[in-house]
Amino acid sequence: MVLNKIDWRSILSMTLWNLIIMAIMIFAGSSMYELPYRNTETINDGTVGGNNRRVHMTLIFNTFTYLQFFNMFNCRVVGAREFNVFTRFFCNWYQIFILVFIFGFQYATNTSFLFWLFGTAALTQKQFWSTVVFGATSLIAAFLVKLTPPHWAESYIRPVTDETVEMGQGSGIMAAYRGSQKKFTSVIARD
């Protein structure tokens, strides 16, 4: 089995955590950051409300990006009881380069340097770092999920697919594909 039930526990719990954090940012973010605007105001109308809406959308975008960024750390160690996601962190320089690039690029898109690229607003330092903190909560969530007993995953998570059965077995598309492969290999064999 490619993904065991412990892996599914991690996937489903992090999906739920991301949904919770994003719902908080979407529905309560404008009041948390004191960014009042009306739903009729657009980000391009040049009003104070429009600018506040752009800042709110940028906060949502940043939070989502950093939730994924920190989940990359979680995905490095997937064992049921492997808690230290920074184990052997400096052994893969490609990953370090990618993480530094993602963080730096995301930071630059929230400054006057690259905000035009995604149509984001320039955030204050407090706003920017709060989105990083919201994203970093995925490290805590993954840690807490690993504290749950593994037998919970075994009893509550059902496998999504049966990996002992060939994918598409019995479908007309796979039958046509196999037929074309047989014709192709017979033509090659004759040559």
What is the amino acid identity at position 144? L
8 A C-beta contact, residue 135 and residue 59: no
* pLDDT, position 43: 75
169 located within any domain? no
8 A C-beta contact, residue 5 and residue 13: no
Give the three-state DSSP class for 57: helix
Whether 184 shows a pLDDT value over 90: the answer reads no
Output the pTM of the full model: 0.75
Q: Cα(21)–Cα(60) distance, rounded to whole angstroms?
A: 10
Whether 117 shows a pLDDT value over 80: the answer reads yes
Written as one string, the DSSP assignment of 104-142 is HHHHHTTSTTTHHHHTPPPPPHHHHHHHHHHHHHHHHHH
* pLDDT, position 32: 92
Domain total of the chain:
1
- Per-residue pLDDT of 144-175, as tens digits, reads 988 888 777 777 766 556 656 666 666 777 77
Tokens representing residue 86 in the block? 């920074």
Task: For residue 117, give its domain range.
Answer: 5-156
DSSP state of 123: P
For residues 81-95, one letter each, b for 16 or more C-beta atoms within 10 angstroms of the residue's C-beta and e for the rest, the string is: eeeebeeeeeeeeee
DSSP state of 81: T
* pLDDT, position 168: 64
133 located within any domain? yes
8 A C-beta contact, residue 103 and residue 46: no
Vertex 67, ends 61 and 73: CA angle to 5°? 145
Give the residue, 134 or 164, on which the prediction is more confident.
134
From the number of C-beta atoms within 10 Å of its C-beta (0-12, 13-18, 19+), residue 34 rates as exposed
112 located within any domain? yes
Q: Cα(153)–Cα(145) distance, rounded to whole angstroms?
A: 10
106 located within any domain? yes
140 located within any domain? yes
Vertex 135, ends 35 and 90: CA angle to 5°? 145
176 located within any domain? no
Please state, rounded to an integer, the average pLDDT across all residues of the chain. 83
Whether 101 shows a pLDDT value over 90: the answer reads yes
183 located within any domain? no
Residue 180's pLDDT band, with cuts at 50, 70 and 90, is: confident
